[in-house]
Amino acid sequence: MAKTAFDKIMDGLTDALAYAEGDEGRGKAHVVELPAVDVKAARKKLGLSQDKFAAAFRISPSTLRKWEQGTRYPQGPARVLLTVIDREPEAVLRALLDDEAA
pLDDT score, position 34: 77
Residue 99 has pLDDT above 90, yes or no: no
CB 42 within 8 A of CB 86: yes
Mean pLDDT for 17-40 is 85
> For domain 39-101, is the CATH number 3.40.50.2020?
no
Percent of the chain predicted with pLDDT > 90: 67
From the list 10, 99, 6, the residue with the least C-alpha distance to 56 is 99
pLDDT score, position 24: 86
pTM score above 0.85: no
Mean pLDDT for 2-30 is 88
* Region class of 35: left (phi > 0), else alpha (psi between -120 and 50), else beta: beta
Write the CB contacts of 19 (distance below 8 Å, at least 6 apart in sequence): 26, 27, 28, 29
